[in-house]
Every structure is written in structure tokens, then in C-alpha cells.
Amino acid sequence: MISFESVTKRFPDGTTAVDDLTLAIEEGSFTAFVGPSGCGKTTSMRMINRMIDATTGVVRVGGEDVRAINAVGLRRGIGYVIQSAGLMPHQRVVDNIATVPVLQGVSRKKARLAAVELLERVGLDQRLATRYPAQLSGGQQQRVGVARALAADPKILLMDEPFSAVDPVVREDLQNEMLRLQSELRKTIVFVTHDIDEAVKLADRVAVFGAGGRLQQYDTPEKLLAAPANDFVAGFIGRDRGYRLLQFGSGTQVRMHPLEPIVEEQIDGLALDADDDWRLVLRDGEPFGWVDAGGVAAHRDGRDLYDSCSAGGSLFNRGGTLRQALDAALSSPSGLGVVVDADGRVVGGVRAADVLEVFEQQRRSSVEQPETGS
């Protein structure tokens, strides 16, 4: 769908922003460009819609050399979202979204109706349609920016650090919204970010750029984390890469230990020797809390015992990821994460050491797997 073939961009002052980039982006895929500041991410992206022309090499969209396509026509098929949302301050939200369709000849009334529908699509209340951009939060503005880019129904969406100016909580909402949108729309998305976690969460493929605009690695997130191509990529991903990789592993292979849960009524009759002797307590058939010797004593004294040992944080759905399994084990006072089936019934417990063992096996086999695709 989009390809770079030995593309170099040199600016008149001699700066090489992109150096011999070769990259193929599949139709309907989500690709992230990551890398430190000044490594050519934005320049590469802008060569797709011809806001910047390559010095040498060829950029193709849909198989065609972009230089052979009329720039205005090309951009019509490509939505563009930038960090500040880039909304026009003196136009209401609805008209911001409807701008491009109106320019393309759609009647204002029809374009406005479609714009209001798009608000819902990006998770906004339709009542926001009549506000001005300054009357929205940063996250809401960003969503309007996405709606505006989608208004002309482009096949390609370019997003340049669209979520970097909002706080982490809003950012996570926007990322989740993006995942949902992409599962519905299947656009070809190129997404620039500094944030490797964001890249790994959203993208099917991640391109890591290094100094001088040189591509260092282009791979699936799993492959990138499991087998960084060189020291630069390993350094960029950071020491947490093992933990990040956990979210791609399946927890189904982790050894399960038997749990013998009790119901609340049994607590008083329980004989536990030590405070590290834990039993899981069920309420209405579902995991409710853990109790140890101290907890049993507290219960006998009529004191509330569940404050400090809720099972909620230590639950792991069978079929979840290794990261969830590890979180469950680590947050459980007994060291055993509670494994539940799809109906919420307890089926056993998982230990952190077993999770890490499976992780190591999966990591080794993913590194040994030959590269597939481009």
C-alpha cells in the first residue's frame, strides 16, 4: 500500500533527515514510527502525502510513485492528524470536522450530519458539535482532530504524535479508542510517537529510526522486544523490555497449582499455623479475599478482615496474557494468583516463578522463529 524504496531526504542546508529508507507498509495495517527527536520520523511521514518530496528514491502509495499523483488529489485520500489537533479556533467543532468534505463538494447540510455522527465514532458526545475548540479539553480536541481526519473517509491516516500533549490517563483513553476505531475501520495508519509503549500497544509493526534518519529495525512489536536488532534498538526499548514482552505471551501454559478455597462460614473453624499460611475465601461462589492466621484471629474477634487482602487484584482470567498472570501472582498475599475461568469460577493458582519460566520458553522460541513478511 505504502512503500519507501531507497528514499533519502536532504534539506538545502545539508541536513540528511532520512537516509536510504526502504520500508513496505501493508494495506490496513497500523505502523508506528519511533525514535529519538530529530531522527526523521516526521519527514518520512510527510513524504507519503508529499508535504515533503524525497531527494532520491521513490515513495509509492497504492503502487504509484507519489510524484506522478497530483498532490491535492493524493492528500484528499490521506487523513492527517497532528499533535495540537490543529483545529480552526473560530469554527465550531461540527464545521471543523466538515471542512474537507465541504471543500470536496459535499453539501454543507450533509457534511454536518456526517460530522455529528463521526463525533460518536471517536467517543464524543454529539452535544459538543456546537462548541468551539477552546471550549474542549485537550483529549476532546484530539478526538475532534481524529474525526476531522476521518471525515473524507481516507484510506490512509497519518498521525504525528497525536496524543503527546495530553496527560497519561487521557492518553490511555485515546489509545484504547484508537484500537477500537482501527478494529472497525481497518485504515492504513502510520503513527509517529516517541513512546515505545504506545508504539508497541497500538501497532502491528514498529519502525525504529536512529540518528541521521537511518532505519534500525522494522518488525512486529513482539519481535522487536524479543530480539532487538542492535544495541541502539535495545537501548531505545530500555531495560523494561522483558516486562513489556510479557503482554504478548499467552498465560494458558503456566502451571496451575491447586487451591482449596473455603467459604466465609468456614473461617472461624480454620486452624492456620502461621501468617504465611493462606487460604482463599469465596463469597457467592466467587473469590473474595485471602485469610491467614492473623486474619482468622481477627475474624474471631469480630473485626473486619478483608481490608488488606482482597482477591480482586490477584485474579487472572485463564486465557489472559503472561503479564496479567504475573501481576496476579505478585499482587496476591499468598504468592498465588487466583486463576478463574470464563464464568468467574476458581480453577487454580499461578506462581510468579512459573510465569517467568513460560515467558523464557516463549521468548526463546520467538527469537528462533524465522522472520516472516517484509
Ligand X SMILES: Nc1ncnc2c1ncn2[C@@H]1O[C@H](COP(=O)(O)OP(=O)(O)OP(=O)(O)O)[C@@H](O)[C@H]1O
- Which residues are at the interface with ligand X (CB under 6 A)? 11, 13, 15, 17, 35, 37-43, 194
CA 368 to chain centre: 25
Task: For residue 298, give the C-alpha cell.
Answer: 481477627
CA 256 to chain centre: 29
CB 249 within 8 A of CB 236: no
The single residue listed with the C-alpha cell 534500525 is 216
Nearer to ligand X, 41 or 299 (CB): 41
Q: CA-CA distance, 282 to 152, in Å (whole number)?
A: 54
Judged by beta carbon distances under 5 to 8 A according to partner kind, the member of ligand X, Mg ion, none in contact with residue 304 is none
Nearer to ligand X, 16 or 91 (CB): 16
Least CB distance from residue 48 to ligand X, whole Å?
Answer: 13
User: 366: burial class by Cβ within 10 Å (0-12, 13-18, 19+)?
Assistant: middle
Q: CA-CA distance, 173 to 123, in Å (whole number)?
A: 10
Least CB distance from residue 40 to ligand X, whole Å?
Answer: 4
Q: CA-CA distance, 93 to 338, in Å (whole number)?
A: 47
Judged by beta carbon distances under 5 to 8 A according to partner kind, the member of ligand X, Mg ion, none in contact with residue 15 is ligand X
CB 11 within 8 A of CB 63: no
* Conformation bin of residue 213: beta by default, left when phi > 0, alpha when psi is -120 to 50: left
Nearer to ligand X, 121 or 194 (CB): 194
Judged by beta carbon distances under 5 to 8 A according to partner kind, the member of Mg ion, ligand X, none in contact with residue 13 is ligand X
Q: Which residues are near Mg ion by CB under 5 A?
A: 42
Nearer to ligand X, 31 or 42 (CB): 42
Least CB distance from residue 138 to ligand X, whole Å?
Answer: 18
Q: What is the CA radius of gyration of the chain?
A: 26
Q: Specify the DSSP element, H or E, that contains 205.
A: strand 205-210
Judged by beta carbon distances under 5 to 8 A according to partner kind, the member of Mg ion, ligand X, none in contact with residue 38 is ligand X
Nearer to ligand X, 194 or 318 (CB): 194
Nearer to ligand X, 210 or 320 (CB): 210
Least CB distance from residue 141 to ligand X, whole Å?
Answer: 19
Least CB distance from residue 191 to ligand X, whole Å?
Answer: 12
Q: CA-CA distance, 295 to 284, in Å (whole number)?
A: 20
At residue 193's C-alpha, the angle toward residues 134 and 140, to 5°, is: 25
Nearer to ligand X, 36 or 238 (CB): 36
Least CB distance from residue 10 to ligand X, whole Å?
Answer: 9
Least CB distance from residue 7 to ligand X, whole Å?
Answer: 12
83 three-class SS? coil
